[in-house]
Amino acid sequence: MKAPTRKCLVCKSKFKVLSNSHWLCSVECAKVKGNEAVEKKKEQIKKKDWTREKAIIKQSLLNHADYIKLFQKVFNTFIRVRDKDLGCVSCGRMNVEEFHAGHYIATTKQYLRFNENNVWKQCSQCNTHLRGNLIPYRIELIKRIGLEEVENLENNRNKELELSIPEIKELIITYKTKIKNL
């Protein structure tokens, strides 16, 4: 039986195959292929290093508002995960295409912006189109956390909260951990 032939991966010349694992015609071609693999690996390492360095540079350019936005995303994700088995806080619907993290007291008041009792899963219809649908929201909120806590939220609506960047970073880590634990 005649030995099969293949094209060498490096020099493209045809050679007789000794086993199914051979794709190179000579030791010289094997060295070239090995050097290509080493160079490719070096490039991958450079790419990883640059990606890591780029992330550090990007992070160093973030300002306070950027960190607040990052924290808001993590916090809202936490609320949706925490309330995954609950319906919309305002209308009670469960089968809705999109849920938001709806605030009882508006987010313009920083003190309550990241208060877990002030933020609950809310359908996009109630949160966006009905501007929070606050009357049914308040009724359900009293059932969930009690009248005293709702009044406490309402009494603290004008307080301001100023978080430093290190505090925000710590809160982001805390809430990411809470999400994992849910």
Distance CA(165)–CA(91), nearest Å, equals 36
Two tokens, residue 37:
């693999």
Same domain, 151 and 86: yes
Residue 18 belongs to a domain: no
Domain containing 177: what range? 63-181
Predicted pLDDT of residue 111: 86
Same domain, 80 and 116: yes
pLDDT tens digit sequence for 58-103: 888 999 999 999 999 999 999 999 999 999 999 999 988 899 999 9
Two tokens, residue 28:
């010289």
Same domain, 39 and 88: no
**pLDDT exceeds 80 at position 2:** no
7, 35, 36, 52, 61 from 29: Cα distances, Å: 12, 10, 11, 35, 48
Residue 176 belongs to a domain: yes
Residue 123 belongs to a domain: yes
Q: Is 19 or 73 the better-scoring residue by pLDDT?
A: 73
Same domain, 171 and 95: yes
Instruction: State the DSSP H helix or E strand holding residue 103, giving kind and residue range, or none if neither.
Output: strand 99-103
Residue 129 belongs to a domain: yes
Same domain, 91 and 151: yes
